[in-house]
Structures are given as structure tokens and as C-alpha cells.
Chains A and B, each alone.
Chain A
Amino acid sequence: MTKGNTRDPPSFPAEVMNAVLGGDALRRCFQCGACGGSCPSAADMNHSPSRLFAMIRAGLRNEVLRSNTPWYCVACYYCAVRCPQEIPITDLMYGLKRLSIQQGLCEEVDAADFSRTFIGSVERYGRSFELGLATRYHLTHRPLGLPKLAPTGLGMLLKGRMALRPHRIKDIKGLRAILSRARVLERVR
């Protein structure tokens, strides 16, 4: 292993590929750029998807896992249907989000917290709950953003489009047991 090199040992690409079902397809990427060219969020990403894949191969763990690219992915699958090498790009973006959180490198704190708040609501009720979600998220993360949220939220309430109370599924215990067992199995995966 080289010392004093800013690059990581070559285990990083393997780590990324292992984080995703079918992720080893990433080996086949030949840098045609079709993914970046199709991506509706590319302009706002600090690295295009194809460049991010080249960086993964180069072992640039920090730069990759700190990147906003996966967090600006809206999961539209344009890249995936256009990739000539049939690489599951959208799934890789999800995988990179997970790795960046697990390794404490995620810089898109708001986006990650939004996802966490969402799954918290699912664990609590078995359903997602827009009003609670929007309020809790905005109160904890963007207290100043709340007035901006209000007009839309208010209009929706008046039109009966937002519930004031969440609905809890009947077998919430069963669901929680399933999720915690899955979490245990994930650790040994």
C-alpha cells in the first residue's frame, strides 16, 4: 500500500459495487457520458454521473462521498435507460447516498435529514404523513423556511388535501419487527 498518497487503497470501487445489487456492472462503464448528457440535474451537480464513476474507479473516496451528485439525483432513470452498458446508475446513486451517510462524509445534510425524517414517519405510522413531515422537517432544519411553506400548505389544507392527523396501520408492530430483522440481516450481508 502506498503511503502519503491522497488516494485510498483500491478497495473503494469494490465497496461501492458491493453496496448495490448488480453494482459490479460499474466495471463496464466506458465513459461515454450518455448518463450525464441525459440527467436533468446535471447542471447543479458538482460532478456529472460519468465523472463520478471515473472518480470511483480512481479511488477518490472523499471527493466522491462528499459530492452532492447522488443527492441531486431525482431518480428519474433517464441515465439507466440510455446507458449502453446497462449499468444500474440510479441504484448506484442510492448506494452512494448510503455509503456517504455511513462513513460520515455526507455534506448534503438537509437532504439526508429529509430522508431520515421520512423513514422515521414510516416507522412510526407505517405510512408517510405529509403535514407532519413538512412541519417537522422545516421546524428542525429550516425554521426560517416555514413562512415560505405556509401558502402552499394552507391552500392544501383548505382544499382538504392535507391530513391533520396521521393514519397508523393496524399491524405496526409486525412492520417494525420486519424492519428491525432486515436491519440485523443487512449488517451481516
Chain B
Amino acid sequence: MTYAFFPGCSLAHTASAYADSIGAVAERLGLDLAEIEDWNCCGATEYSAIELLPAYALVARNLALVNGDLSQVVAPCSLCYVNLRRTQQALRERETLRAQVDDALAAGGLSYQPGHLSVRHLLDVVVNDVGLGTIASNIVRPLYGLRIAPYYGCLTVRPAKGFDDPEQPESLDRLLRALGAEVVDFPLKADCCGGHMTQISADVAYGLLRRLLQNATDRGADLVVTVCPMCQLNLDAYQDRVNRHCGTDFHLPVLFFTQAVGLALGLSPEALGLGKEIVPAQQVLRAKWSTEPSPAPEQPRRPHRRRRDPTLPMPEARSVRHG
């Protein structure tokens, strides 16, 4: 299947390592991504702060430009993903909005009716369409010895009704485990990186980033792996500022999940854009990445409570009957 690909603005610049590694991994795994012709910015979190209808029309132009033969749009950036997804959903549910947006699109010679298109995050496509089985069978150099904190950020899994649990997602954990890495329990894995807050208030932004870096460090992570350019930028490029602002001493390399996949597939670090990160990953990779699975058993994990489990988290001393 061919997917319509919406790269988003950051892939050309701040997240060029993401672009490199997506290209290399997609080719190796036979994932066919066709870039949407002449796409425009999704508006990030800024357009909706100023105008409502133009914000929807801006995103709808991209949906209108999708080749009519394709039924899936995939975005590697969580912010783009959520904007495309929300717009598609709002257009589907609201007739007036649909008519107004279509009227606006007509001014640019376009038209859009939200029918069959579904909007997907790249992580979802890699884990659920390409599949862990296919990936596992292509692994050349498992990520043995690396302790990785899987970081989803907020918009990959929220608002709800996406492809994973909105508060305790698992897909990236499963992927990294399939690659041979040791996945650390990272309670803040779906917390926010602060988005554009670095530009608005240093106190708020660095506070959020510090919590994340502290949590990953406390859990013994060698690396953080992200699925969003904004998260990568904030955790990586601002880590030094966080250290100076908060008096901390974090040295935690932050990679894109496609770079981790690519390394396990045996692709060259250059092809995967390694070395473009501000906090270099090279040292950690050299020191920790081993050819043998680590002998120590995985740290004991707390039992996972199922979401629909009606019981309170009580000690299970006696047998309790429900209903």
C-alpha cells in the first residue's frame, strides 16, 4: 500500500535527522511514502490561537491535495498528526464547517469532502501496519545493552480515541523491545514537552523539560527515543539551557524512533542522520550497545491494571467477588 506522506515543516530543518532516518528505514522495510505535492504548514499550535476558520482551511488544503487514489495520510510529527486528525474529524462531524471550508478552498481552486481518508501517525503505521514481525525478521544488529526511555509526548496519543492508550501507551515500548533494547519504565512517557513554551516562558518550559529528563535519568535510561520533532528539539537542543537554568547535569541523548529502528536494521549512522543531535549519542552507543543480550533480567514491573478493571487497587488478600 502507498501512503500519502505529510512531512511537516520541521523535517526540512530542525528534524532533518528524522527525515534521513525515515527515508532509509522506509526503503529497507518496503514502506511506500508518497509526499503530498505542495503541502503547507499545519499551523502548529499558533493558528488556532488567532483565527478559527482559517486554521481549519489551512489544514484542509493539505487533505484536499492528497492523491484521490490513496486512503491513508501519515504524519511523522505529532503536532501535524493531531491537526490533520482533528480537522478531518471536525469536517466529518460538522456540516456547516464542511461547507464553509469547502467554500474557502474553492477560492484556491480546490475542494474537499472528508470521505475515506484516515489520518495516521508514523509510529502507528510502523508498529501496526509494517508490524513487529516484519521488523524483527529484518534485524541485523539488535539494540542489546541499551536502556531506552520511550517518550511519546502528548499529541501522539491525545486527544483520546487514537491508536494507543491516551495516558499509558505501549506501542513504542513494544517496538523498542522487539529491537532488542531494554525499555525502562518511564511514568512520564506521555507528558508534555512544553511545545512552544520555550519561546514564551523559560520557567514553565524548563520546569517541564527538567521533570522529563529527571524521570528518565532516575529510571536509568541511556537514551530517550521520541516520535515527534518538537519533543526531540525541546529535550535535545534545550537540555543545556535546562542544566544552566535548573543547576542540573543531564547528558541524555535524544533520538528519533526511526533512528533506533535503522540502527537495529544495520543501516549506517550517517544514513540515519546520527550526529545531528546536540547531545551526542555516539559515546553512549559505543559504551553500551553490545552484541549480547544483557544477562540481568528485566527490572520487575508493577502489575498492569487493566483500564476497565472495576476494582480499586487493593491488596488481593482474600478472594473478592464482584457483581
Name A's B-contacting residues (CB within 8 A).
19-21, 40-41, 44, 71-72, 74-78, 80-81, 90-91, 94-95, 97-98, 101, 108, 110-112, 114-116, 118-119, 122, 126-131, 134, 137, 151-152, 155-156, 159-163, 167, 169-171, 173-175, 177-183, 185-186, 189
Contact = CB atoms under 8 A, between A and B. Distances in A.
A7 to B, nearest CB: 27
Interface in B23-71: 38-41, 43-54, 56-58, 61
A115 B50 contact: yes
B94 interface: yes
Contacts of A169: 38-40
Contacts of A81: 158-160, 166-167
Contacts of B53: 182-183, 185-186, 189
Given A126-B41, A169-B38, A162 B13 contact: yes
A118 to B, nearest CB: 4
Contact of B50 (A101, A110, A156): A101
Main secondary structure of the interface of A (DSSP, over half): helix
A74 B78 CA distance: 14
A115 B49 contact: yes
B304 to A, nearest CB: 19
Given A159-B278, A182-B100, A80 B46 contact: no
B249 to A, nearest CB: 17
Contacts of B14: 130, 156, 161-162
Interface of B: 9-10, 12-17, 38-41, 43-54, 56-58, 61, 90, 94, 97, 100-101, 103-110, 154-155, 158-160, 166-167, 191-192, 194-197, 199-201, 203-204, 207-208, 237-238, 240-241, 275-278
A116 B50 CA distance: 7
Contacts, number: 202
Contacts of A151: 240
Given A76-B154, A183-B54, A186-B51, A122 B41 contact: yes
A171 B107 CA distance: 12
A30 B14 CA distance: 43
Contact of B48 (A94, A130, A189): A94
B204 A44 contact: yes
Nearest to A186: B53
Contacts of B97: 21
B100 A118 contact: no
Given A115-B50, A167-B12, A178 B57 contact: yes
Given A174-B109, A174-B110, 4 more contacts: A40-B208, A71-B200, A119-B50, A179-B57
A167 B13 CA distance: 10
A42 to B, nearest CB: 11
A70 to B, nearest CB: 8
B208 A155 contact: no
A9 B58 CA distance: 35
Nearest to B64: A178
B278 A156 contact: yes
Contacts of A77: 154-155, 158-159, 166
Contacts of B191: 40, 76, 78
Nearest to A187: B53
Contacts of B10: 130
23 contacts: A20-B52, A41-B197, A41-B208, A44-B207, A76-B154, A76-B158, A114-B196, A119-B50, A127-B40, A130-B13, A152-B240, A160-B16, A160-B276, A161-B15, A161-B276, A167-B12, A177-B108, A178-B108, A179-B54, A179-B57, A182-B57, A182-B100, A182-B104
Contact of B90 (A21, A80, A161): A21
Contacts of B199: 114, 134, 137
A128 B107 contact: no
B41 to A, nearest CB: 5
Contacts of B160: 80-81
B49 A112 contact: yes
A171 to B, nearest CB: 6
A36 to B, nearest CB: 15
